[in-house]
Structure formats: C-alpha cells, structure tokens
Amino acid sequence: MSDNHAPVSGLRVLDVPRLQVLGEETGLGVRGVAALYLDQMDDQLGDLRTAIQALSAVSVAQMAHKCAGSSLLAGMERLSCLLHDLEHSPDEQLRDAGGCLASVEREFAAVRTELAALVAVSRDGPEA
C-alpha cells in the first residue's frame, strides 16, 4: 500500500449529478444527503482507524468496503477508489495501512470542502 494512487487521477472528488439524483430520490435534497453522508462517514472512518490500529485485516476490509460503498453511492469517486484499494490490499500490508488511511483522510477533507461549497451555492438558489 503506497501513497501512489494512480487509479484516482482521472476521477472527480464529487460527482454532483449523482449527488443531485440521490437527493431527489431520497427526498433529502443535496444538503440533506451531504449532511447524512458526512455524519456517517465521520463515524465509519473512526471505525476504520480503530480497525487499522488493531491490525484487524477482516475489520479493515469490512469497514473499507462499507465506506467505499457509501462514497460511491453518494458520488465521491476518488474517495471510493482509495477505500476500495484499502479493502482489497493484502493482509501482510496492513501494517502500512496508515499511509493509505492518510490518503483517505486527505481525500475526505477534499470531499468535505467540495460539499460545503456545493451546499453554500444551493442556499443561494432553489434546493439542488
């Protein structure tokens, strides 16, 4: 597990159309989906950190899978890809998972920034 994540280079931080469709389908709107996603991911990433610290390969794979699925559903393409890499990393590389987790956390910060900007724009107009 290195900090070189070439698969994410062509992906977007945030797939806005996907997020808008999810907001419409759920009736939560973009703001509601963004708030729910951020709240859930804060908890899930905390659980992922705990699993990595415990060197529990099974728990790391389960939490990375859960986080990747949530991220993909909500349109966080690059974050989902990083989490997918972590989910499918060999067990012997678990001791190096901290570097991958750092990449995940940097990407999650980028997601948080883009969601905040999107929500701020949607406050100026009709609910997106």
pLDDT, tens digit, 9 for 90 and up, residues 2-50: 444 444 667 889 999 999 999 999 999 999 999 999 999 999 999 999 9
The C-alpha atoms of residue 67 and residue 91 are separated, in whole angstroms, by 18
| Nearest alpha-carbon partner for 28 in 62, 67, 74 | 74
- Domains of the chain are 13-120 (1.20.120)
pLDDT, tens digit, 9 for 90 and up, residues 40-90: 999 999 999 999 888 888 999 999 999 999 999 999 999 999 999 889 887
SS3 label, residue 28: coil
